Structure 1
Amino acid sequence: MTDTFLPVLAGFLANPLDLALLVGGTLVGLVLGAIPGISTTMALAILLPLTFAMEADTAILFLMAVFMSSVYGGSVSAILLKIPGTPASIVTQLDGYPMARAGRAGQALTYALVASTVGAILGLLALVVLTPVLADYATNFRSPEFAAVALFGVAMLAFASSGSTLVAGVIGFIGIVLGTVGFDPLTDAQRMTLDLPLLQSGLQLIPVIIGLFGLAEVLDNLLDHSGEPRARPGLGRIAVPLGDLLSRWKTILRGSAVGTFVGAIPATGSAVAVSIAYAQERRLSREPEAFGKGHPDGVLAPEAANSASVGGSLIPLMALGVPGDTITAVLMGALLIHGLAPGPLLFQNDPGFVSSVYASVLLSLVATLVLGFALIRAAVLVTQIPARLMYVFIAVFCLMGAFAIRNDMNDVYVMIAFGLVGLLFLRLGLPTAPLAFGLILGPILEENLRRSLMLSRGSWSIFLDRPIALALVLASLAIVLLPAFGWLRARLRDREVLAGR
């Protein structure tokens, strides 16, 4: 891969336009990530239309810059205002905000930036080392294996989603059904179109994502947010003693390892990774009682895990064509728009683009480190932008983005409809991610399931005869059924306790 990686990296550095987009994407990501309520997924969704006219290599560089920088940017409002800029920075606020209240906001932001950089580097190394191996192994996959992988992805998302696994599974199934709307790829028969022209070509991925994760969040925040600026905390010193950072290297490495591993599991995402990393660090700490009161390790561990999960989440996307989380689902949409299908064949058909992904991640983390450190003192100003003004602007951007995909007002209607669906889900406390994943993985599951049954002449035994497919199907069933067994055991235990009285 080095025979293509170094030329691609040099090409990015020698192109003024690429460098401008790198810097611009990093700045935009830092700003959007720092604004409360704008997640990394939302930032990528609303900026995705800007990349339609770009070359694929340039587009991935810009999106990766937004991706990497918004991951760190989410910690800014979490530390300064106790309002997570992104869902994954919820854990960072537990110790970051107490540090800010104690006049150590500058150091908390520096801890977060350093941990994010180290975590991103380790995640990139895992991406470079593990993805080609997994992709090479995945070239032996056939339709049964890909169908099982898609099923496993939906099951993992249902398990990792907050709330009931059963509810998340049902929502994921609804997403799978929605993925079949439009013409049947084999028979050309219309399915669930309701004789509406806008549904005949199916539900386009990007308008749905913009609606679910962009417009829905805007509407939710416009209905709730007061829009009043908050008081600026004291930044204090920015520099952190080098000896103090070096003494905490184990914390950063453990957080990075957790983020990489959990991020590589389809559908888990960074929110799960940071929670595990924080809980692990608190359990291993000699002073667990200090967590939640401004302990630096409470900032280092989740931020390292947060950024490491970036590389981890790209592993299943690049190797298997299955998005690791909702963020990489947006990236997958970008690749498909540019005619690139992520998966094992991408390494054989377009190794130069794979190198572009690696180079984009490396340049993005360097740009985030340099610009993030330079803008720490100015970061607090971003969080004081009037919220209502910002959300109105983003709502207009969502409308323009949905229309720009095909210059079709039907896509705008779809985006608005799913924005309302996303708002309803937020109000009811239901997870929206399974719906998006079901829509993405549904066509993959259907196509490969039908092809598998055609090859076996209608016999389901094809999934029993192939060990990998069987293991994935059994794992998916276990993921869905284990919570039900746990609930049943709890009910039986309660009955025994009542009977004993």
Structure 2
Amino acid sequence: MMLGLVALGTVLGLVLGAIPGISSTMALAILMPVTFTMEPGVAILFLIAVFMSSVYGGSISAILMKLPGTPASIFTQVDGYPMAQKGKAGHALNFALVASTVGGMVGLAMLVLLAPVLAGFATNFRSPEFAAVALFGIVMLSFASNGSTLVASVVGFIGVVLGMIGFDALTDAQRMTLNTPVLQSGLNLIPVIIGLFGLGEILQNLVGFGGTPKVRPQIGKVLLPLHELTSRWKVMLRGSVIGTFIGAIPAAGSAVAVSIAYAQERRLSKEPEKFGTGHPDGLVAPEAANSASVGGSLIPLIALGVPGDTITAVLMGALMVHGLTPGPLLFANNPTFVSWIYVSVFLALIFTLVLGLGMIRAAVLVTKIPPQLMYVFIAVFCVIGAFAIRNDMNDVYVMIAFGVVGFVFSRLSLPVTPLAFGLILGPILEENLRRSLMISRGSWSIFLERPISAVLIAICVVLISLPLLKWAWVRLRGGSEASTNKAT
């Protein structure tokens, strides 16, 4: 039954990942409600299968249609689409699949080796350190977001404030409930996530209808000569290592990993002028990095309880729904579940390789599904998923409200991910902050007396201050140049 569930999750991930506009985050968000009645181990098995396969699925539309199915597939289209135009779409998809599998295995190996070490180190953490880690996660994501770090940080702390809605756990007082029963129990995480990353993305994609190119690619030959694959093992390994370590940096994300991997491979290539014209190395490197970043992003999630990127933030929400809090205590209290995560990633990679290879010729059919029709079905799943949590229409209203918030943020070029991070990490930050102040009898010096929390807070201050310092430097330099010109 579980193997069948992995196969189902893999197929769904491949299909959803291949549809332009439906990211891995969105795929997880809309399928998360399906796991509510499952055991935690079974649920994580299904969700990771969707996660891993959607990572490769995004390369299908990038190669065949020049439309990245996921944001991290942007660099896949640079050389993958020209290969498809030359009648080598089958070879391009095969390259991407094998590189994705190798990258995923390297990322898994690093996850197994590094996560227990990091978690063991984190067992010495106390409330000040946990508060600092939560703050660090929010600020790091804000720093990595597009646009102003200060604006993204403000959005993140809006999420923290939204996480405080409801009854105070210590004083039992109502906070920001507006005296409405709907808000007394707080904002349920799942409707918020489904709204931001599901309905919000649908509304955003509806604006762009009509721009899809009419492409009818030919798959051609699928199987590659063995020497074509083995001769690029160094490229796969370099991309995998870059993807793993960039993915392990909280909030860096797979998009950063693939861009670095592509740039690095082009710099090392003996024929860099061929990149962008259908060079296999330009396809293999980012795909290996993309898949490897999954294992990397899971390291801070299960070891520290800090999501590595947006997708793992949704995955963290799923774990919390099942009563599991990621972090160092997970290794001590649920070591079997940690092993289950390792096995889930391994099985997902194997099933993605087998089913992905078998579905290469059918991939063209997936890319021909009308986006309008698919978005209607996904919108229905969003409503059902939000309602199924507590059989409460109020959750549907919350989901719709945050769907509109996600859409408006996108139109205003405001990052929506820090809002979700703030909502997830906010309760952790508040709880440990208040506990630390109770221990120190109200003295904030407790955060500076402990080295780890002091270093993390210092990094947060520097990251938030950088845009202001840069602005001040530009103004000062501009004023100096103006004075010099005037004197001249």
Corresponding residue of 1:276: 260
Q: Sort the Cα spacing of 1:105 and 1:499 in 2 relative to 1 into closer, same or farther, 3 A.
A: farther
* RMSD (Å) for aligned C-alpha atoms: 1.4
Question: Residue deviations 1:31-64, cap 9 Å, x none?
Answer: 0000001010100110011111111111111111
Corresponding residue of 1:438: 422
Corresponding residue of 2:122: 138
Is 1:50 aligned with 2:14? Answer: no
Contact 2:166 2:175 in 1 (8 A): yes
Deviation (angstroms), 1:157: 0.3
Q: Sort the Cα spacing of 1:19 and 1:478 in 2 relative to 1 into closer, same or farther, 3 A.
A: same
Describe the SS at the equivalent of 1:376: coil
Q: 1:211 is matched with which residue: 195, 209, 218?
A: 195
Is 1:330 aligned with 2:319? Answer: no
Deviation (angstroms), 1:172: 0.8
**TM-score, normalised relative to structure 2:** 0.97
Q: 1:482 is matched with which residue: 466, 474, 484?
A: 466
Deviation (angstroms), 1:168: 0.9
Distance 1:79 1:320 in 2: 36
In structure 2, runs of 5+ residues without a counterpart are: none
Q: 2:285 is matched with which residue: 301, 310, 317?
A: 301
Contact 2:13 2:54 in 1 (8 A): yes
Corresponding residue of 2:2: 18
Deviation (angstroms), 1:228: 6.8
Deviation (angstroms), 1:159: 0.9
Q: Letter of the aligned partner of 1:58 in structure 2?
A: V
Is 1:153 aligned with 2:111? Answer: no
Contact 1:227 1:388 in 2 (8 A): no
Question: Residue deviations 1:275-306, cap 9 Å, x none?
Answer: 12112222222222222222212111111111
Q: After superposition, where does 1:420-431 map in structure 2 within 5 Å?
A: 420-431=404-415
Contact 2:64 2:215 in 1 (8 A): no
Contact 1:178 1:203 in 2 (8 A): yes
Q: Letter of the aligned partner of 1:186 in structure 2?
A: L
Q: Letter of the aligned partner of 1:277 in structure 2?
A: A
Distance 1:158 1:413 in 2: 28
Corresponding residue of 2:356: 372
Corresponding residue of 1:265: 249
Deviation (angstroms), 1:227: 8.7
Is 1:196 aligned with 2:180? Answer: yes
Q: After superposition, where does 1:79-118 map in structure 2 within 5 Å?
A: 79-118=63-102
Question: Residue deviations 1:196-220, cap 9 Å, x none?
Answer: 2111111111100000000011112
Corresponding residue of 1:291: 275
Is 1:129 aligned with 2:109? Answer: no
Distance 1:238 1:499 in 2: 66
Question: Residue deviations 1:244-300, cap 9 Å, x none?
Answer: 322222221111111111111112211111112112222222222222222212111
Contact 1:229 1:384 in 2 (8 A): no
Distance 1:250 1:304 in 2: 11
Q: Letter of the aligned partner of 1:338 in structure 2?
A: H
Distance 1:394 1:437 in 2: 23
Distance 2:192 2:39 in 1: 24
Is 1:169 aligned with 2:138? Answer: no
Describe the SS at the equivalent of 2:406: helix
Contact 2:317 2:424 in 1 (8 A): no
Distance 1:276 1:167 in 2: 25
Distance 1:220 1:300 in 2: 30
Distance 2:357 2:54 in 1: 14
**TM-score, normalised relative to structure 1:** 0.94
Distance 1:267 1:191 in 2: 30
Q: 1:448 is matched with which residue: 410, 432, 449?
A: 432
Q: Give the % identical residues.
A: 72
Corresponding residue of 2:168: 184
Distance 1:210 1:306 in 2: 24
Bigger shift: residues 393-402 or 193-202: 193-202
Question: Residue deviations 1:130-174, cap 9 Å, x none?
Answer: 111111111110000000000110111011111111111111111
Distance 1:280 1:196 in 2: 55
Deviation (angstroms), 1:111: 1.1
Bigger shift: residues 257-266 or 70-79: 257-266
Describe the SS at the equivalent of 1:377: coil
Is 1:314 aligned with 2:314? Answer: no
Corresponding residue of 1:341: 325
Contact 1:229 1:386 in 2 (8 A): no
Deviation (angstroms), 1:318: 0.6
Deviation (angstroms), 1:239: 2.5
